């Protein structure tokens, strides 16, 4: 129901353009009355400004002049609200369900909702991105049905300032599990890596490699925007560029993980001597990372172990490392001073002499 006022000038009443809504009343199935705007109270009157031959300002108040409710009515109102909140709680519980999936003890579940946002700064048009996630062979696993790779749609670039930008907005999702069984190991656990390959299509649907890139996934939960710089291998001479322009041929990497250190590499040194490359454009990813572990809700030693694992995964900054070293030095110095104080003075003093 609407309470309205006709604020038209004299002898011009009844026109719709002069009608204004002062208040709206709604009653739901539970008998709850909603008043909008609310009762005036101490807020002061509401204002309406009219436009026409002369501008007018109207002020009005909304007051509750109903008699006070009886105790029986107040009790009935409380029961109605209690029943309403109870049904809403049951509805929310039905949405969540009872079978909440938990990780195994000592494991960390990483869930990523990602998006390939855009690519810019590349030489040719009609770009698309091939990407995949590489899990370290030690301690990491993923479900058998999990797809860890994807290809975006082909997008025609648009000029933005000095660059040509392709907006993909391509979503992807994956999950992985980390299980650190050997807590005595001091080796730094590795984190998954996201690889990407940018390609372009010509008029004859032949592709060219525009760039390779890689980035380590964030070790902290939350929203992250990552910009990956890419490069591509090149050949010397104009013949290679002519071949790339006319027939789409270009140098390619047989193994995309060669962008960083391949997981299959077992040697001590990875040589890229003789590989000629040039810097190309950048790819922007937006990642929403979630982490789930039983250790987050436990206060036992398991939580302390998992915290140490997460700390090692996240890495210590140089500042925190220096601070830890200084703290260890202070503790050692304090223990040494306490030990010196407990010794006899003739052994501590450099001028002490032995008495025969």
According to the model, what pLDDT value does residue 171 have?
Answer: 95
Strand boundaries in the chain, DSSP class E: 2-6, 19-27, 33-36, 46-50, 56-60, 107-120, 127-134, 140-141, 149-151, 158-160, 163-179, 193-201, 207-216, 222-233, 277-292
pLDDT score at 311: 57
Higher pLDDT, 154 or 355: 154
Contact 125, 157 (CB under 8 A): yes
CB-based contacts of 112, cutoff 8 Å, min separation 6: 173, 174, 175, 217, 287, 288, 289, 290
pLDDT at 75 over 60: yes
CATH topology for the 108-264+274-298 domain: Immunoglobulin-like (2.60.40)
Which of 6-20, 55-69, 333-347 has the highest mean predicted lDDT (pLDDT)?
55-69
Is the predicted pLDDT of residue 331 greater than 80, yes or no?
Answer: no
pLDDT at 130: 95
Q: Strand 33-36's sheet: what is its strand order?
A: 2-6, 19-27, 33-36
Element (DSSP H or E) covering residue 323: helix 318-342
**For residues 60-65, average pLDDT:** 87
Residue 102 C-beta-side C-alpha neighbours within 13 Å: 9
SS3 content of the chain, % helix, strand, coil (to 5): 25, 35, 40
Q: Could you state, in order of their start, the residue ranges of all structural domains in the chain?
A: 2-60, 108-264+274-298
Percent of all residues in the chain with a pLDDT value above 90, rounded to a whole number: 22
Average of pLDDT values for 319-331?
60
Per-residue pLDDT at 236 exceeds 80: no
- State the pTM of this model: 0.57
């Amino acid at each position: 129901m609407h309470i309205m006022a006709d604020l038209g000038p004299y002898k011009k009443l009844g026109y719709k353009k002069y009608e204004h809504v002062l208040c709206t009343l709604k009653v739901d199935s539970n008998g709850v009355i909603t008043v909008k705007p609310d009762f005036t109270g101490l807020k002061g009157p509401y204002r309406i400004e009219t436009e026409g031959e002369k501008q007018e300002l109207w002020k009005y108040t909304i007051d509750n002049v109903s008699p006070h409710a009886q105790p029986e009515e107040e009790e009935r109102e409380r029961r109605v609200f209690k029943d309403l909140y109870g049904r809403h709680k049951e509805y929310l519980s039905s949405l969540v369900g009872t079978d909440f999936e938990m990780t195994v003890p000592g494991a960390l579940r990483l869930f990523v909702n990602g998006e390939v946002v855009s690519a810019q700064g590349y030489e040719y048009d009609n770009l698309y991105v091939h990407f995949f996630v590489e899990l370290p062979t030690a301690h990491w696993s993923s479900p058998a049905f999990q797809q860890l790779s994807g290809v975006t749609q082909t997008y025609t670039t648009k000029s933005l300032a000095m660059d040509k930008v392709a907006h993909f907005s391509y979503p992807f999702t994956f999950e992985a599990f980390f299980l650190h069984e050997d807590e005595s190991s001091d080796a730094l656990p590795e984190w998954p890596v996201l690889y990407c390959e940018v390609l372009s299509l010509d008029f004859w649907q032949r592709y060219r490699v525009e760039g390779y890139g890689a980035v380590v996934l964030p070790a902290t939960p939350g929203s992250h925007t990552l910009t990956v710089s890419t490069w591509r291998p090149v050949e010397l001479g104009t013949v290679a560029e002519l071949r790339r322009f006319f027939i789409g041929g270009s140098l390619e990497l047989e193994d995309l993980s060669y962008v960083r250190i391949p997981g299959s590499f077992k040697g001590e040194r990875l040589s890229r001597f003789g590989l000629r490359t040039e810097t190309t454009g950048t790819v922007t990813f937006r990642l929403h990372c979630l982490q789930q572990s039983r250790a987050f809700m436990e206060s036992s030693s398991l939580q302390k172990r998992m915290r140490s694992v997460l700390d090692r995964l996240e890495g210590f900054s140089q500042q925190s490392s220096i601070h830890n070293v200084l703290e260890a030095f202070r503790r050692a110095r304090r223990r040494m001073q306490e030990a010196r104080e407990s010794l006899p003075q003739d052994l501590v003093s450099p001028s002490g002499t032995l008495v025969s």
